[in-house]
Structure 1
Amino acid sequence: MKKKTKATHTLHKQKAGRPRPFFVLFLILIGLFFFLAGTIVLWASFTPVPDITSFTNRQVVQSTKLYDRTGKILLYDYGRDVKRSVIPLSSISPNIQKAVIAIEDSSFYSHGGIRISSILRAMLVDLFGGSFTQGGSTITQQVVKNTILTDKKSVVRKIHEWVLAIKLEQKYSKDQILNTYLNDMPFGGTLYGVGAASEAFFHKSAADIDIAQAAYLAALLQAPTYYSPYGQHVKELRQRKNLVLQRMKDVGSITASQYTQATNEKVTFYPIKNSGIIAPHFVFYVLGNLKNKYGQQALQGGLKVITTLNVPLQEKMQSIIATYAKENIKNFGAKNAAAVAIDPSTGQILAMVGSPDYFNIKNDGNFNDTLALRQPGSTFKPFVYAVALEKGFTRKTVIFDLPTQFSTLCKPKDNHNNKPPCYAPVNFDNKYRGPMTFTTALAQSINIPAVKVLYLDGIQPVIDLVRAAGLTTIQASKKYGLSFALGAADVRLLDMVDAYGIFATGGIHNKTASILSVTKPDGSVLEQYTYSPVRIIPALVANDISDMLSNNTARYPEYPPINPLNFPGYDVAVKTGTTNNFRDAWTLGYT
């Protein structure tokens, strides 16, 4: 019994003497940490601090130039009109300073250049995400990053940023660093610094900016191109402005009443005048694509961009839009109009007019309506019929235009009840025509036959077709019902014109393109247009749709023989569409 106890005691001693792997690993990690920390300290001690006075003197060295498709007509010189007003901090409204600090770096006046908690959070996200793209940057780090370092993401560059931020704080005051930041940050396009941005956006000096305007300026800093007040994300800009105001209230920069007042204030952005610009909607569309693809700094690198724009066609389209927009205002109260032309055989954009007058601030002229989400109405119907033709139906297939209850939750005889969950659509004139061929139903744009054809198709096959044809804003089938046949889905005019191209080309889709080439100053080609056609539908189906849309006889009696959709001597396929209460009116066509 005693021997057994002794043996057991000896065994316990042997176990206690073994090395513990987790403890050893911990010691190794601690050692590595101190080694890296020591290395960083040595590196920091020998890293020179740049002269802060040189930051605000930076200039855009080379401007990016955009040309038409011939390469001879200059559309826009991006950088020629760079606006950068360097002003002292005392001339910058406290509202701007508070708004920027609240959203970008609320502990700016208390940290030493970096925030350890933000760095650890960013490191964890980067570690598990497999990249080094997280933020967590203080205002001081952003000064370093945007004025000294490159955009390249790497561990070494990030550590370099931390070191320089700490040393910068040791040499310069907080106010000096904040002043540099506010004078240097980009606000989109050729605007740098709050002085230039205040003048351009609000026609005010930076000293006179109110709380709401300051919140907008601070909101722009995160992504000036995406949140541009002249772009397609104005709603998102407004939401971020409200986030800035919320942060200002949370940190005590403004009172609850000031928050409420600023949230409800209607702020006007004045359009930026550029006398030397041709096709401004198109130009800024191209610049946005370049920025998304290559980054903001690439636009300051002297790129030569040959676009797809056909200037004579652009000028003709601009003139037509400007002329008929005035008539639309007078006759229909419609304040806006837009148009886009694409070569369907290549997908290249030849002309783009986003409004009658880009610089008309009262009419939101700087907003590009060719990129706005709208319901296309009956212009969507050809895609529904195309799927049916591909399934084996023909142009001469007969379908009945009669009162119909499509909902299984309602009685079939209740065919005039359109109150949910019932669905019994009506035609635009509340008439019923009885038996009709596919051709006459589409040519006369009758609603009930179109819904019946979608019922035969199934919603998913139509979604698959239109997404392949370029309507990428179309979502999952569960989002739509049978009203999908009547254009009850949000799409962009540019994408609709692109999608109609499959009918013009015999079923071939060519992805929309706005750039023929992008060349660096050294002559190397950064981007080149490549022809990459993809067959979407059989040629027979595409040709049948073209015949149906160009059949002037089939339009009768909805249209007389002589009508705006008929061009004697030319084969022109045309489809019109309107949305509820005539909010939007569409015309799409091709030759």
Structure 2
Amino acid sequence: MKWQITQLNSFKNKKFIHWPSHKQWLELLVWAIVLGAIGFFGMFIYLERTLPDADTIATRQVSESTKIYDRTSQVLLYDIHGEEKRTVIPWEQIPANAKNATLAAEDSNFYSHGGFDVRGIARSFFKDVLSLSLSQGGSTLTQQLVKNALLGGQKTPFRKIQELILSVQIEKKFSKDQIFWMYLNQIPYGSNAYGIESASKTYFGKTAANLTLNESVILASLIQAPTRYSPYGSHVDELIARKDILLARMRDLNYISVDDYQQSVDEKLVFKKTTESVTAPHFVIMVKDYLVKKYGEDVVENSGLKVITTLDANLQNIAEDSVTKYATINKKIYKASNAVLVSVNPKNGDVLALVGSADYFDTANEGNFNVAIDGTGRQPGSSFKPFAYATLFQKGYPDNTILFDTRTEFNSYCSPDLSQIKDQYGTPCYHPQNYDGTYRGPVTLRQALGQSLNVVAVKVLYLAGINDTINNAARMGISTLNDPNRYGLSLVLGGAEVHPIDMASAYGVFANDGVRNPWQIVLSVQDANGNVLEQASDRSERVLEPQIARLMNNILSDNLARAPVFGYNNSLYIPGREIAAKTGTTQDNRDGWVVGFTPSISTVVWTGNNNNSQMTVAGAGVSAAGPMWHEFMVKALANTPIESFPEPYPVSANKAPLDGSYTSPDGQIHTILYNVDRSDPLGPAPISPGNDPQFYNWEWVIRGVFGPLPTPLPDN
């Protein structure tokens, strides 16, 4: 009762909050609107006074040029504007197809709006809000003209308002045709070409008046992203796809007929050979793509960036000379017309040299396609084997472990006598051969890797585990193994696609004592005022234990281990230098690889054909790729300190065949699966080795040589 009285008194003494009445709310709203209007019009008047004169629209503002340098900042690799090319032509000399293609691509409502498109602005506004950016333009042709000729490419809310004001002013001062004419004579098309006449001569070697429908649509397709879609870049397939989409839109807008559409889609385009001055073109295009993705087309094209890259100009010259020399030789002797060379510093990930094809400027043969990084990749052949061996060593297997190099059926549902093509479920049987068709019986892991024995490599992958090997390769830098369920035991023989630049980087993990430094191409970026926008930083990560990296280096640099196959004086051997290296050849000789390294430089060479046609048998393995790799490495290492890999500590085990013997405690000779549980290789022998699905087929071969066949085991 006392508590209730206290609460009642407290309630009586409490002061009530007085909320504004409806009238007061209305007054507040009116004042907010008035003050907002005053602020808006004040800002509008301020922005209008700071605007450039709309009458100067006919004279284009020259933007500051972005320059890309080598690692010393002394060698200019590429000036993104360079000598600007622009030729103004009369309205009447611009073909109707070029005008219509541009309208369809950029602003199909141009002749019906007053300078800006409300729906387009609203659409881009909501996209920007959702993405928390200012990436969506929603710009009409008039707005694009204002941006390129008067304001520049800065993306801020105030600049957008200025753009809208100027667009309205220009629409009042000039006719639609005049605005469109100025646009077509000033818009950037890439490759330093401004205006449609310059673009026509740059890409097709003809005047705009003589452009075909297909060529007109290509130019209109470039406007949105001239760097990304450049005919001289690595995304020509995207340019063609965009061209075909734009043709379909022109058809739907009744600008062209159905027959015109189909004829243009089927027509093959031929681009004029570029005359741009550019050093290391594949590398420079990679840098441009990186900059555009990070900073946007406008900033890269107009903001005067200074970009210091990782490229070593001297090594790049050596790389280009080596590729040019041996690509010509290989084409004549081995029918391998293309080649790639990438060199990376394992200690920091810097890409020191990169040649993405034999001739970047040979666009007729897709020379501008960068095989080093673009597309789905190429199959690596035996150069993938080290990832499986490293994974096996991680599980405790010593390098003198004995495996049998014997013809083996790896599909456990197929007969071990190799008599079947498919199993009962229709799955192909799998019994790979060694490259020379011969088999060597018991060999150590060191010998098997050094001599690149295929049958043993498949056994290594099985013991190491496919998923564990894929995960290891990914941690080391292989970026293309994104569908683990797609790969089987053929993975270790190159049954997946990889990018050459990833291979150079991943092998660099071995070279760098197990520490990965992801490859990088840019050291720093500064704006026109010298402000640092980006600076390379340490991204190192340990992905292998030092012992595993050292053991791999010790094997891959063992010239005695590979001599039985390659000879002592082979392309992988450089007198006086400790070099670790591995070759690779794919099925039907479509790809030839060498990946080799010292502690300071990891270099990959790939040879083959862009159309995936075969090389000759003689070009397999080291024959086509080896001399190119050897010549580059000899010159690259000249006048550099001699380095050695740290030695691994000895690894041993007290059980066969991990101890280098292949006789079991019972005095019999068995497959490794008889003595080793692959889930616990250093532990006790499996109680029921037959439970392993591979045991019967592996043991069958050995019993055929050393003793009677075992009793067939029940299906697992």
Fold match by TM threshold 0.5: yes
Q: Which amino acid aligns with 2:453?
A: I
Rounded Cα–Cα distance in structure 2 between residues aligned with 1:55 and 1:553: 73
Deviation at residue 257 of structure 1 after TM alignment: 1.1
Worse-matched range after superposition: 564-573 or 318-327: 564-573
Q: 2:430: which partner in 1? A: 424
* Native 8 Å contact 1:271 1:366 kept in 2: no
Work out which of the residue numbers 254, 257, 272 in structure 2 matches 1:255: 257
- 1:97 matched residue in structure 2: 99
* 1:529 pairs with one of 526, 533, 536: 536
SS in 1 for 2:189: coil
Task: Pick closer, same or farther for the CA change 1:532–1:132 going to 2, 3 Å.
Answer: closer
Show the counterpart of 1:67: 69
**What CA distance in whole angstroms lies between the structure 1 residues aligned with 2:189 and 2:473?**
36
1:115 aligns with 2:117: yes
> In 2 relative to 1, CA 555–416 (structure 1 residues): closer, same or farther, beyond 3 Å?
farther
2:657 matched to which residue of 1?
none
Shift of 1:200: 0.9
Contact 1:232 1:371 in 2 (8 A): no
C-alpha separation in 2, matches of 1:384 and 1:128: 44
Distance 1:303 1:374 in 2: 34
The amino acid of 1:422's aligned partner reads P
| Other-structure match for 2:654 | none
**Equivalents in 2 of 1:32, 1:430: separation in Å?**
87
Aligned position for 2:387: 383
Change beyond 3 A, Cα 1:37–1:492: farther
Offset of residue 38 of structure 1: 12
The amino acid across from 2:296 in the alignment is: G
SS at match of 1:532: coil
How many Å apart are 1:543 and its aligned residue?
1.2
Corresponding residue of 1:334:
336
Tell me the alpha carbon deviations over residues 516-552 of structure 1, each in whole angstroms, 9 at most, x when there is no partner. Answer: 3334443433333334322111111111111222222
What is the CA-CA distance between 1:177 and the residue it aligns to?
2.0
Secondary structure at 2:68's aligned position in 1?
A: strand
In the alignment, which of 396, 416, 424 is matched to residue 413 of structure 1? 416
Unaligned ranges ≥5, structure 1: 1-20
Distance (Å, rounded) in 2 between the aligned partners of 1:63 and 1:160? 24
Using the TM superposition, give the Cα deviation of residue 265 of structure 1 relative to its aligned residue in structure 2, in angstroms: 0.9
How far residue 340 of structure 1 moved from its aligned partner, in angstroms, is 1.6
> In the alignment, which residue of structure 2 is the partner of 1:265?
267
Query: Match for residue 288 of structure 1?
Result: 289
If you compute each CA radius of gyration, which structure gives the higher value, 1 or 2?
Answer: 2
| Structure 1 counterpart of 2:472, from 465, 476, 484 | 465
Q: CA deviation at 1:85?
A: 2.3
Distance verdict in 2 for CA 1:46–1:61, change over 3 Å: closer
Shift of 1:418: 5.7
Deviation at 1:404, TM superposition (A): 4.0
* Aligned AA (2:393): L
What is the TM-score of this pair, normalised by structure 2?
0.72
Whether 2:169 is the aligned partner of 1:176: answer: no
TM norm structure 1: 0.86
Select 1:400's aligned residue among 404, 420, 441: 404
Structure 1 residues 566 and 84, CA, compared in 2 at 3 Å: closer, same or farther?
Answer: same
The alpha carbon displacement at 1:251 in A equals: 0.8
Q: Which amino acid aligns with 1:575?
A: K
Which amino acid letter does the alignment assign opposite residue 468 of structure 1? R
| Superposed counterparts of 1:300-339, under 5 Å | 300-339=302-341
Distance verdict in 2 for CA 1:481–1:221, change over 3 Å:
farther
Asked if the contact 1:302–1:520 (Cα under 8 Å) also holds between the matched residues in 2, the reply is: yes
Structure 1 pair 386/38, CA: closer, same or farther in 2 (3 Å)?
Answer: same
CA shift digits 1:464-506 (9 cap, x unpaired): 3223322223313234333322223222212211111001111
Q: Which residue of 2 aligns with 1:17?
A: none
Question: How far is 1:574 from its partner?
Answer: 1.3
Q: CA deviation at 1:414?
A: 7.1
- Name which of 549, 564, 570 aligns with 1:563: 570
Distance 1:434 1:484 in 2: 23
**More deviation in 47-56 or 94-103?**
47-56
Bigger CA drift: 92-101 or 70-79? 70-79
1:402–1:448 CA contact under 8 A, matched in 2:
yes
1:209 aligns with 2:211: yes
Does 50-59 or 331-340 show the bigger shift? 50-59
Secondary structure at 1:374 match in 2: coil
Q: Does 1:514 align with 2:521?
A: yes
Is this contact kept in 2: 1:426–1:447, CA < 8 A?
yes
Structure 1 counterpart of 2:346, which letter? P
How far does residue 87 in structure 1 lie from its aligned partner after superposition? 2.4
Q: Percent identity?
A: 43
2:557 to 521, 531, 550: 550
- Which moved further from structure 2: 79-88 or 244-253? 79-88
* SS in structure 1 at match of 2:583: strand
Contact conserved, 1:405 with 1:417, CA < 8 A, in 2? no
CA positional deviation for 1:156: 4.6
CA RMSD for the aligned pairs?
A: 3.3
Distance 1:498 1:325 in 2: 23
Alpha-carbon distance, 1:382 to partner: 0.9
> Which amino acid in the other structure matches residue 427 of structure 2?
P
CA deviation after TM superposition for structure 1 residue 204, in Å: 1.1
Equivalent of residue 356 in structure 1, options 344, 355, 358: 358
SS of the equivalent of 2:110 reads coil
Distance in 2 between residues matched to 1:473 and 1:587, nearest whole Å: 19
Structure 1 counterpart of 2:139, which letter?
Answer: S
- Whether contact under 8 Å (1:425, 1:447) holds in the other structure is no
Amino acid at match of 1:336: N
Amino acid at match of 1:508: V
Residue from 451, 455, 461 that aligns with 2:458: 451
1:583 aligns with one of 586, 590, 604: 590
Distance 1:32 1:399 in 2: 85
Report how many aligned residue pairs link the two structures: 566
